Amino acid sequence: MTETPRLIAIVDDDPYVRNALGSLLKSSGFASRAFSSVRDFLASLSEGLPDCIIIDLHMPGMTWLELQQELRREETRLPIIIMTGHFDPELRKQCEAAGAIAFLPKPPTVDALFAAIDAACKIRESYMSDGAPRP
């Protein structure tokens, strides 16, 4: 029996970033779905939940923090990894304090990216096994 690959959602308004991350994830045995906006990502949730989200810090229309608030409002628990081209240690602290699993510079190192994904997937597994409602 084949194990289902982890599904990673990529939310970034840059098509190059979406394609590059999608290719990297696929070559490493992950499945991915890419979205150019937070609203498109939210609309997809009725089709199933990813194991984690990789999102650009500066998205037009709806920020990662607004996404996180919307997920909480819907009682959907998904770990979020933030990537940014404007790395700032103070902003990193703020994002992690607000619930981000990781805060990575663009482009992230492969090791840092996969370490963040591994941590996020473990957190997602704990969400699913703690008896909490699962959307």
pLDDT digits over 30-48, tens only? Answer: 999 999 999 999 999 999 9
Tokens encoding 38: 């937070």
57 Rama class: left (phi>0) / alpha (psi -120 to 50) / beta: alpha
Question: Terminus-to-terminus CA distance in the chain, angstroms?
Answer: 26
Q: Beta partners for 102? A: 81
pLDDT (0 to 100) of residue 55: 97
pLDDT tens profile 42-81: 999 999 999 999 999 999 999 888 998 899 898 888 999 9
Q: What is the DSSP letter of 131?
A: T
Alpha-carbon distance of 30 to 7, in angstroms, equals: 6
Map out the domains of the chain with their CATH numbers: 7-129 (3.40.50.2300)
What mean pLDDT do residues 5-15 have?
Answer: 96
In tens, the pLDDT along 86-120 reads 888 999 999 999 899 999 999 999 999 999 999 99
Q: Which residues pair with 31 in a beta bridge?
A: 7
Residue 132 has pLDDT above 80, yes or no: no
